[in-house]
Structure 1
Amino acid sequence: MWEAVLAADEGRLRAPARVSAELGSGRLVFTTGALEGEWFGYRSYDSFGAEPGEQVVVLHDWETGRVRGVAVGNELGPRRVGAIGGVAVDALAAPTASSLALIGSGTQAFTQLWAIGAVRRLSSVRVFSRDPERRIAFVRRVSEELGLPVIAVGSAREAVEGADVVVLATSSPVPVIDPAWIADGAFVTTLGPKQVGRAEFGPELVDRADLVVTDSVAQTAAYDPPFILAGTPQQERLTSLGAAIAENVTGRTVLFCSVGLAGTEAYLLARLIDSAYGVQ
């Protein structure tokens, strides 16, 4: 994903905003991408609400158009989002960051811990979500599968205060933390809703940050309803993750708005196929 983020910044990875087709009671959504001269592809998923449902990622050869690979299931998408979050932490969080606060206990929350734990040695993880039973089950899974020092706490504030890295991974339409809880020099990732009138954080959190980064500026411009910062002076502060890495942009307190860089699912599938068949 580090490679993909830089390829997007250089213009080699074409990564337009996602598109969708209305199909009555639901939509079929596509995120598309192309690596110049190598491949093009897409991921598709629906909004019909079936659980668990399945996503499909399809990879085509650039020259022939033939299908090089297909991934079916719901594993690839969350892993690449987690990996992009890991790239952001690796590039922009303090090298000494070791304590993490996690608000949320779903699939995206797990893959963020999986990836961040690969780029930072975490000394403590504090988890809060609204459902106590789900929170405890999540902590048990993290401890067993990732081997991280993790505990469940009783409030978002208890999780966030003093943490070096804060991850918001909720579906909440309203802010889930108070920006005053964020420590100076902390790194914050937001994965949930971030549109006007529906966002898991407020503009005040942006004011709290010295650097505001996203993996896809194109996607923030395409939101409907608009991205939470659209039309505000704060929008001018938004920097792409690829540009921040390439230009060595830094900030003491960092906010990363994860919105889903298109093409990264196909990029990941291409690398997995190459790895499986011994292509360097």
Structure 2
Amino acid sequence: MTTVLDDAAILARLTPALAVSAMREAVLAAERGDLLAPPRVHAGVQTFTAGRLIGQWYGFRSYPTHLDAPQLVALHAEPSGELLGLAVGKELGSHRTGALGGLAVDLLARPAARTVGLVGAGTQAWTQVWAISGVRELAGVRVFSRDPGRRRAFAERVRAELGVAAEAVDSARAAVEGRDIVVLATSAGAPVIEAGWISAGTAVTTVGPKQVGRAEFGVDLVERADAVFTDSPAQLDGYRPSALLAGREVVSLGAVASGAQVGRRAAGAVTLYASVGLAGTEPFLLARLLA
């Protein structure tokens, strides 16, 4: 029998610990070659990502490319092809992205990192701090967005749902200066911060645009970073126009999780994680929710 999960059912089952654990397994499986995860495919106004965990399942996610609309994730058993589950809505995809960000923080941020600075107050910003709260004991969150009401509401939600001290601030600089962890989660096509605002030892995540000619950060941040990481080098290489990181050595989270590559090389190093969305991770998370 096929199980269908809507957003309410997904949120009832999902925790930061479960989501981050699933993404750790996913990047390790991709690193081993057990998770086949080709870059996403655009078919007009529709985008598809697909994945296969060899010998266990295969599945896909389908969503409107430029619309904030419900998505579909399907999971099939291998080799029978039985349709095991469907997820319909927005929550699985957004929390999957947040969980990859939480994993990046766990692998790259200093063990004692406790403060977060966010630029952006939308869904992606929320799922990032939600997941981070599962891998670090947070002492404080600062958030900036251009809309004063949205940033105040975001800070209130962090306090109410995560039990973490949070404040809305009046500038991006005030949000990120002196923070252990910085998250950029905007739709901006021009840099929203300056590299000089980032302190030594900070772990930076960028969720939003990251292409040449349209990026929420600048070349100065890339040059500021001691090392750059991503969840899917293949997806990053597939950007057209090219990613702003083109030509820079980029390490996969899977290589760090497996121990094949070093994440943080020194306490004072600045790390930059470019979130691009490893394909197959939505079915991977759905499989965990159905287990």
Closer, same or farther: CA 48–115 of 1 in aligned 2, 3 Å: closer
Matched, 1:3 2:15: no
Query: What SS does the corresponding residue of 2:179 show, helix, strand or coil?
Result: coil
Aligned match of 1:19: 41
Q: What is the Cα deviation at residue 200 of structure 1?
A: 0.3
Aligned match of 1:213: 229
Q: Distance in 1 between matches of 2:200 and 2:206?
A: 17
Q: What is the Cα deviation at residue 229 of structure 1?
A: 2.3
Matched, 1:148 2:148: no
Aligned match of 1:277: none
Aligned match of 1:172: 188
Q: Find the partner of 2:134 among 106, 118, 136.
A: 118
Root-mean-square deviation over aligned CA pairs: 1.0
Can you list the C-alpha shifts for 1:175-231, whole angstroms capped at 9, x where unaligned? 00000010001100000000110000112111111110000001111111111122x
Can you list the C-alpha shifts for 1:114-173, whole angstroms capped at 9, x where unaligned? 100111011111100001011111111121111111000111111111100000000000
Select between 39-48 and 256-265 the one with higher mean Cα deviation.
39-48
Q: Find the partner of 1:163 among 156, 168, 179.
A: 179
Q: Find the partner of 2:283 among 263, 266, 274.
A: 266
Query: What SS does the corresponding residue of 2:193 show, helix, strand or coil?
Result: coil
Matched, 1:38 2:38: no
Aligned match of 2:150: 134
The 5 Å alignment of 1:161-200 reads: 161-200=177-216
Q: What is the Cα deviation at residue 248 of structure 1?
A: 4.7
Can you list the C-alpha shifts for 1:57-106, whole angstroms capped at 9, x where unaligned? 00011111121100000010011111111111111110011111000000
Aligned match of 1:250: 263
Q: Distance in 2 between matches of 1:5 and 1:91?
A: 12
Query: What SS does the corresponding residue of 1:118 show, helix, strand or coil?
Result: coil
**Structure 1 runs, 4 residues or longer, greater than 6 Å off:** none
Q: Distance in 2 between matches of 1:207 and 1:180?
A: 11
Q: Find the partner of 2:253 among 230, 241, 250.
A: 241
Q: Distance in 2 between matches of 1:244 and 1:123?
A: 26
Closer, same or farther: CA 48–125 of 1 in aligned 2, 3 Å: closer
Identical-residue share of aligned pairs (%) = 56
**TM-score (norm: length of structure 1):** 0.92
